[in-house]
Structure 1
Amino acid sequence: MHLEPADAGEVSLWLSDAEFDRPTSDLIERLGGDEELLLALQLSGFADRDWNPVAEELARYGLAVITSWIHKRTIFSKVKRRTGYGLPTLVDWPGDQHTVVELADDVVIEALSYFKNNVLIAGKWDPTKGASLRTYFIGQCLFRFPNCYRRLFDAELLRRTNEIIADDDSIALVARTLHGIEDAVITSDAVRHALRSITTPRARSALVMHAQGYPYQEIADYLGIAGGAKAIENMITYQKKRARRSS
């Protein structure tokens, strides 16, 4: 699912350099400050020779900030506050350094492209409103975070689902759970139809775990689903009804 913020060009002043736990770079100051830097970029038509050093500095700064926030798990509350998007979470993910770095890289790369083309070139950043160039860029990183995060999150859920579905018997359990099939023999067509009817990786994981006898609360904890046992029960009930309507 691709998320589009209502206004990705506005960054409220609650963001500040002090919040980043990171010394501010002096590149912009060396180049004359935010307004002078923007004017130089505009006069050159954002030529690579002028834009690339700025992009590299913003990328280094953005990576330091976003990586730190992911590690501290404060990124989710900051994204919610700035964009309004609440994101699903897993207690133990992302935890490994490789995934954290991959996520931060994706966020910064997308933010740089958007920042250049849709903010700076489009003239949406107004330095007189109080948000510095760095602050505004971090705001864009927060707007880009949900889509980047969901791609990796869905891939992680699929990986966990594949771990849970270890054999044909497990898949057959899903088919029986969805369709109420009592016969011990489950055809391959029934299995394929059952799996196609599941709408999301999280729902698939929940159904497989439910079919294997896991309690609702344990499923919710494993998949990081807010609402706990009741949310899982509602999800499974919905998927069963949907599968039976489509059969």
Structure 2
Amino acid sequence: MKDDLDRTDPWEAPGRGRPEDLQRRSGDQEVVRLLAQDGFRGPRYDRFVEELARYGISVLRAWMHSGFIFRLAAERGFGLGPHERELRELASNSDLREELATMTVACALARFRQQALIEGGWTCEGGASITTYFMGACVYDFPNEFRRYRASEERHRQALKRQQEVYESPISPLSTDGEALGRLHVLGVLESISDPRARAVVALAFDGYTQDEIQQLLDAPSVRAIEGLLYRWRKTKRDAEDDEGDQRG
């Protein structure tokens, strides 16, 4: 169902240029009047928000699938300049579209409630239906969510690049004996770590990165997560060394 929505006409502005435009906006005005009686909260408002969010996510997914979202953002002064790689990823990755659409709608809803409903920013005379007005709000919030995704992807690429340099680059014949032995030791340690994320953390730690820097490079949830991972690795390493010592004894 979602993939079908992704292939629909990307510009789905409800009521725009249609004869029923005024009737639609009059209906929206009555809905807003009823919601205002409840203070824009409660069961009736929750149902309204649920339907609006479902609609917003569907349309945003379609706009991302086609790349049309970037044209809309550019028209509002947000020159995101997506790479061809990013456009391909958005067109092919349904989960990514769902994540970005959901986050964008979540951010837009709070501002929409305050500015459009409570403060009266939306009016029947304004020329846009409620859904069209809300999609405009989503277009303003999408750039921040896309930039967060782009920054996260860049940190991940940089971390993988550093891991590859440490883990896979050959030992130069010009290296000193000490450098070569140190390199071999690091490679031996990394080869013993089966978890790719743990291997990346240890590789970066060997390379002199602080735990704060590792957390940012790998987009980990917190520095404590990095600390815990390093602690578990060191403990496993010590236990293995103790077992090896007992066997020798």
Which sits farther off after the overlay, 133-142 or 40-49? 40-49
Per the alignment, residue 132 of structure 1 pairs with 129
Per the alignment, residue 87 of structure 1 pairs with 80
| Dislocated runs of 4+, deviation >3 Å | 21-24, 29-32, 167-172
Distance, in Å, in 2 between the alignment partners of 1:143 and 1:151 is 14
- Residues 156 and 22 (structure 1 numbering): CA distance in 2 closer, same or farther, change over 3 Å? farther
Pick the aligned partner of 2:71 from 59, 77, 85.
77
For residues 187-216 of structure 1, give each alpha carbon's deviation from its aligned partner in whole angstroms, at most 9, with x where no partner exists.
x99x658xx99xx98xxxxxxxxxxxxxxx
Distance, in Å, in 1 between the alignment partners of 2:30 and 2:61 is 29
Pick the aligned partner of 1:142 from 117, 139, 143.
139
Per the alignment, residue 153 of structure 2 pairs with 156
- Matched AA of 2:137: Q
- Matched AA of 2:155: L
Query: What is the CA distance between 1:20 and its match in structure 2?
Result: 1.4
Asked if structure 2 preserves the Cα contact closer than 8 Å seen for 1:115 and 1:140, the reply is yes
- Residues 88 and 21 (structure 1 numbering): CA distance in 2 closer, same or farther, change over 3 Å? same
- Residues 171 and 115 (structure 1 numbering): CA distance in 2 closer, same or farther, change over 3 Å? farther
Aligned length: 171
Query: What is the CA distance between 1:170 and its match in structure 2?
Result: 8.2
Distance, in Å, in 2 between the alignment partners of 1:52 and 1:31 is 20
Query: What is the CA distance between 1:162 and its match in structure 2?
Result: 2.0
Alignment of 1:28-107 (within 5 A): 33-82=27-76, 84-90=77-83, 91=85, 92-94=88-90, 95-107=92-104
- Matched AA of 1:115: F
Pick the aligned partner of 2:12 from 12, 17, 20.
20
Per the alignment, residue 223 of structure 2 pairs with none
- Residues 96 and 18 (structure 1 numbering): CA distance in 2 closer, same or farther, change over 3 Å? closer
Pick the aligned partner of 2:114 from 110, 113, 117.
117
Structure 1: segments with no counterpart, 5+ residues: 1-16, 173-182, 202-247
Query: What is the CA distance between 1:52 and its match in structure 2?
Result: 1.0
Distance, in Å, in 1 between the alignment partners of 2:64 and 2:10 is 17
Query: What is the CA distance between 1:148 and its match in structure 2?
Result: 1.1
Query: What is the CA distance between 1:114 and its match in structure 2?
Result: 1.4
- Matched AA of 1:71: H
Asked if structure 1 preserves the Cα contact closer than 8 Å seen for 2:78 and 2:143, the reply is yes
- Residues 143 and 30 (structure 1 numbering): CA distance in 2 closer, same or farther, change over 3 Å? closer
Distance, in Å, in 2 between the alignment partners of 1:114 and 1:77 is 22
For residues 20-54 of structure 1, give each alpha carbon's deviation from its aligned partner in whole angstroms, at most 9, with x where no partner exists.
18899xxxx89971111111111221122221111
* Aligned Cα root-mean-square deviation (Å): 3.9
Asked if structure 2 preserves the Cα contact closer than 8 Å seen for 1:22 and 1:65, the reply is no
Question: TM-score, normalised on structure 2?
Answer: 0.56
Question: TM-score, normalised on structure 1?
Answer: 0.56
Which sits farther off after the overlay, 86-95 or 141-150? 86-95
Among the aligned pairs, what percent are the same residue?
31
